[in-house]
Structure 1
Amino acid sequence: MRLSVLAVIAIAVTPILAVLTVALTGGGGENVWPHLAAYVLPHAVRTTLLLMLGVAVLTLTIGAGTAWLVTMFRFPGSRFLTWALLLPLAVPTYIVAFCYLELFDYSGLIQTALRAGFGWQNAGDYWFPDIRSLPGAILLMSAVLYPYVYLTARVSFQQQSVEMLEVSRTLGAGPAATFWRIALPLARPALAAGVALALMETVNDIGAVEFLGVRTLTVAVYETWLSRNSLSGAAQLASVMLLFVLALIFLERGLRLGRRFHALSNSSRPPVQAELTGWRGVGASIACFAPVVLGFGLPGFILLRSAIAYLDTALDPDFLDAASHSLMLSALAAAVALLFALVLSYGRRMLSSQSLRTAALIPALAYAVPGTVLAIGLLAPLGAFDRWIMETGRMITGDAVMPFFTGTAAALVLAYSIRFLAAAFGAVETGFSKISENIDAASRSLGASAQATLWRIQLPLLRPALAAAALLVFVESMKELPATLLLRPFNFETLATHVFTLASLYRYEEAGLAALVIVLASLLPVLILHRVIVARRADGGIAPVDKSALPATLA
């Protein structure tokens, strides 16, 4: 068991170490760092920071504001909005970007209709906001990523002491003052976690920023590797991205350090919701429905329209191949990630070494590593491993041996498994925590070995947790784009890359069906997430936060 845990830790940590090694040594290739530092890095870093700042402000405003409204007030549509505000999580950022390009771009529906209606001939005859811009990217990405903040904020508001809020009101503070002076400061740790998650997704994104012409660090890594064919340059830029991720983790931890808040009583009484009527109720409804429409309603309508209108064109052999590849890769990645998570969780349960039990948490940090960085980090070690396989195979058989990872789907499966190991590990770890260790002791006292106890007792009890873990990894793998673009074999498409390729060729309508399939596949875990985290108990209390629903880096 000890060796198995160490092996999984080594597999998960190797890509990060490889990125740093190649970045520091240059990987034996040309030294492109002076060019990158002078001409690429300043603009990419500045653009990335501005994008992160804008997304942080908007997601915090939308997420915390809507969470407070649906938690503390009743207004038209408030019960529906408690779960509807999570729906944008089902739409990947690259899909919402190409949906809005189809709607607002020069050749999109709105500008085409305006030119036809007013007789305008070209863009010089009128003014229209440019969706292909940094403000456009901030708005669209915030419309999709705000649920991370909404989710953590809503749980925090629900679990805050009702008595404390009531005392604030009896002392003369209105709803706005209570929110700013009491509820918001108490929710600061949860808000920091939500914003950090949103910013990690922002740093990881490559599809939306590529479509919108925003040259972030992720785009710079992608172009350096594919356009310049420079692994060392890509690794050097990727190491800068790692600094961004580490800064986010330390900042989030710093904001939470020493700030733990406890209720003043054991009461689980939910907050009494005030009724908003008249213009206040209408305003609250508009404020909460707007992000749902922007992040899910409009993209969903555009995808459904395109999928129906271009069904015959979109339902071609390329789409069927991409769909089969996505299903195959996602299923394999779910199985591998589940195996890794089971090894780590079981090792933490059985091993007596505290240092090894703590080290078993390290692989969960891979969630915070952008897919582009992970892909770059896998290229060097997988290439070295394949060279060893080919040389060994040639010595044994005398014939040429094909590489196992390089240029094959196996590299994608490994990348997905490492990238989303945190989701599987969190779910399995939570499942193990619900199995009393007394059951293990009773099984061992009856003569069963540790392996027999695992197969006959623990695994059957873990079935719900294992199913949840597999579902999370499966769906996340179907949506993953950055790592897939860098590691996929030639002429090998998944649904995500199929959408990216068609949208890059301005064939938005033909991409609608593949994008719709991804969104529909993502809806189920989003609804389960709502049910697990913010559903009320039957007695009216608030369900505790399920840490498995959040990445282990922030749980």
Structure 2
Amino acid sequence: MTSRHGHSGSPRYGTASPSSRGERLLAFGTYFLTGLVIMPVFAIVIMAIGSSGNLWPHLISTILPRAIATTFQLMVGVGLIVFVVGVSTAWLVTMCRFPGRRWFDLALLLPFAVPTYIIAFSYVELLDYTGPFQSLIRDVFGFKTSRDYWFPEIRSLGGAMFVMGFVLYPYVYLSARASFLIQSACALDVSRTLGAGPFRLFWKVALPLARPAIVVGVTLALMECLNDIGAVSFFGVQTLTFSVYDTWLNRSNLTGAAQIATIMLVFVLVLMFIEYYGRRKQRFHQSTGTYRALPSYELKGMRGWAAVVVCALPIVLGFVLPALLLLSRASRRVEDLFEPALWAAAGNTLWLAGVAAAVSIAISLTLAYRRRLFPSNVTTFLGRVASIGYAVPGTILAVGILFPVAALDNLISESAKALFGFGTGLLLIGSGTALIYAYVVRFLAMSYGQIDGGFGKITPHYDMASRSLGHSAWGTLGRVHMPLMKPVILSATLLSFVECMKELPATLLLRPFNFETLATTVYNAASREAFEDAALPALCIVLVGIIPVIMLAKTSADTFREKRGNKRIPKTTRMVPAE
């Protein structure tokens, strides 16, 4: 075989089109897998438009106005909270010196470990009439009923804003702090030389430079807000997501649920456009090859302790209080550790999340390796399309997946009946395959982003050397790339596993009959006000969720020390093959 480099066996890295059988198979697999990922979205639109029932007038007159208004208000409230909390804590940790700053840099990520529905039911238990806070108020002041005093109602739209805001702020914290770290020390020094104080430096220089990154963080938080179903149901807030769930299961109207889901798609598309617009402007240029320590402010006395309070408050509200409640309630039900139902739910969770994570890694490797072999606008576009599922709420995916999977189930059953004389029933839905499909589509973006980034850090010279030695594209993947990318693959697998384990909306809608996971066990117990029954499975989810947070915190701390110090970092690092 003669390549474009002019001699037999030379590397094919970067060629425009596949030529070997294996490369053609890789190309076919890329298109096929991308089609599977985006199929649920098309299925929703087809169901909504092609419905024979004229449900739109009823939805427009009864359900949609209130659901849209509530969803919009919730997103605005959550957006404001995550912006204020995320940006303020990121600025303090990055640019100021005060007691405990290094510890806060790590601890501010802890709310990432707790799903919103667990925080929600924890605060319902904490702040409800029978909870410890109101009980303490009645005991101290001698009040007899709730009419004797005023206490904010947690089961409300405001309560949902408060809880979700203090759980989702780490999205903004991470993106804002990363932007503050890479801002030019020279620009900040010049601003200080011209007389800019701390507040003016933040407001006039740092914040405008960080605005694109902050927009991305807020958008990601709002996507999670739109996806939530557990928290809003606990608080009695009828968002679009809750309306899809209620219309499908409680009213047995799948068509109506699909039509509401199309309205949610509009919200998703708007958020995706905002996220893309913000990311498009994330371009920073360092004019020197040396990162100097950023100018920082030492906060002493009351200012230092005020910074401590500002940074500690979101950690206490978003993690410490709910975690203490879970520990307290779980300690009362230690005997539940020996309940078969808990172990069955844990087993279901582990195998579903494990299979989904493995499938996500396999698909991500296929898409990313195709892009590495044949970099082009087409392969880049396919990777972005395959990552769209993360922006689509689980309720939308569930509606879009049920229609084609149920049709395929019926086809398999009819074929088996014609060939063997018996039907298979709901084989794909009843076995959990549809749920695994939803997990893969929903969280493929996480594994694909990491693996594609891992490929980007491996020099093309390795591919060229391997192909020159006669290895095929698949041989190069197995012998060269996989060993080098083992840490990246392990990290991507763990993140995908934890996210699948915590996913609630798709699990509620697509799980087989009499099939429970840890997430659905928590939701069902909290829905019937049995908070002690929910504590132990919720604590299991939190403990597993802390693992990727620790990994993220370690990476974050390493980056922080590297950027804050005077360590010289070269502009580029040349990678050459080992001799």
Report the Cα distance in structure 1 between the residues aligned to 2:291 and 2:534, rounded to whole angstroms.
48
Matched, 1:303 2:315: no
**Map of 1:174 onto structure 2:** 197
Partner of 2:90: 67
Residue identity in the other structure for 2:339: D
1:95 aligns with 2:118: yes
Flag the 1:100–1:353 CA change in 2: closer, same or farther, 3 A.
closer
Is the aligned partner of 1:444 residue 2:467? yes
Query: Is residue 282 from structure 1 mapped to residue 305 from structure 2 by the alignment?
Result: yes
Task: Evaluate the alpha carbon distance shift between residue 243 and residue 315 of structure 1 in structure 2; reply closer, same or farther with a 3 A threshold.
Answer: farther
Aligned twin of 2:81: 58
Q: Distance in 1 between matches of 2:470 and 2:558?
A: 41
Report the 3-state secondary structure (helix = DSSP H, G, I; strand = E; otherwise coil) of the residue aligned with 1:269: coil
The structural deviation recorded for 1:260 is 3.1
1:39 aligns with 2:62: yes
- 2:442 aligned partner: 419
Partner in structure 2 of residue 551 of structure 1: none
Deviations 1:432-489 (A, max 9, x none): 1122222122122212222222222222222111111110110001100000000011
SS of the residue corresponding to residue 50 of structure 2 reads helix
Equivalent residue number for residue 283 of structure 2:
260
- On the 8 A contact 1:2/1:351 being kept in 2, the answer is no
2:28 is the counterpart of 1:3: yes
Count of residues paired in the alignment: 542
Q: Deviations over 1:363-400 (max 9, x none)?
A: 11111000110111001010111111112222222222
1:499 counterpart = 2:522: yes
Q: What fraction of aligned residue pairs are identical, expressed as a percent?
A: 48
CA spacing shift, 1:369–1:231, aligned 2, 3 Å: same
2:267 equivalent to 1:244: yes
In the other structure, the counterpart of 1:154 is: 177
**What is the CA-CA distance between 1:32 and the residue it aligns to?**
2.6
Q: 1:420 is paired with a residue of what secondary structure?
A: helix
Task: Report if the CA contact (8 A) 2:114-2:545 is conserved.
Answer: yes
How far residue 104 of structure 1 moved from its aligned partner, in angstroms, is 0.5
1:20 to 45, 50, 70: 45
- TM-score where L is the length of structure 1: 0.94
Alignment partner of 1:372 out of 379, 392, 395 = 395
Q: Is this contact kept in 2: 1:533–1:543, CA < 8 A? A: no
Distance change in 2, residues 1:141/1:353 (3 Å): closer
Q: Aligned-pair distance for 1:508?
A: 0.9
Say which is worse superposed, 247-256 or 277-286, in terms of deviation.
247-256
> C-alpha distance in 2, partners of 1:189/1:247?
16
Q: Secondary structure at the match of 1:465?
A: helix
Which residue pairs with 1:553 in the alignment?
Answer: none
Match status 1:337 vs 2:360: yes
Q: CA deviation at 1:523?
A: 0.9
Higher Cα Rg: structure 1 or 2?
2
With structure 2 as the length reference, what TM-score do the two structures score?
Answer: 0.90
Shift of 1:314: 6.2
Structure 2 Cα separation of the partners of residues 279 and 531 of structure 1: 30
Match in the other structure for 2:482: 459
Find the counterpart in structure 2 of residue 549 from structure 1.
none
Distance 1:179 1:315, change over 3 A: farther
Determine the structure 1 residue equivalent to 2:502: 479
Matched to 1:160, the amino acid is Q
Residue range with higher mean Cα deviation, 287-296 or 442-451: 442-451
Unaligned runs of 5+ in 1: 545-555
1:32–1:408 CA distance, 2 compared to 1 (3 A): farther
1:78 and 2:97 matched: no
* 1:369/1:419 contact within 8 Å kept: yes
Does the 8 Å contact 1:96/1:140 carry over to 2?
yes
CA-to-aligned-CA distance 1:143-187 (integer Å, 9 cap, x gap) = 000010000000100110111111111111100000000000000
Is the deviation greater in 261-270 or in 287-296? 261-270
Alpha-carbon shift at residue 538 of structure 1 (Å)? 5.5
Partner residue in 1 for 2:233? 210
- What is the match of residue 411 of structure 2? 388
Q: Show structure 2 runs of 5+ residues with no match.
A: 1-25, 570-579
Partner residue in 1 for 2:19: none
Shift of 1:256: 4.8
Counterpart in the other structure of 1:359 = 382
* Counterpart residue number, 1:293: 316
> Offset of 1:401 from its aligned partner?
2.0
Tell me how far apart the structure 2 counterparts of residues 229 and 513 of structure 1 sit (CA, whole Å): 32
Aligned partners of 1:543, 1:429: CA distance in 2, in Å? 27
Amino acid aligned to 2:34 = I
3-state SS in 1 of match to 2:54 = coil
Say whether 1:348 aligns with 2:366: no
Distance 2:219 2:544 in 1: 25
- Output the amino acid matched with 1:18: A
Aligned residues: CA RMSD: 1.8
Instruction: Rate the CA distance shift 1:534–1:262 in 2: closer, same or farther, 3 A.
Output: farther
C-alpha deviations, 1:395-452, integer Å up to 9, x for none?
Answer: 2222222332123311111111111000110111112112222212212221222222
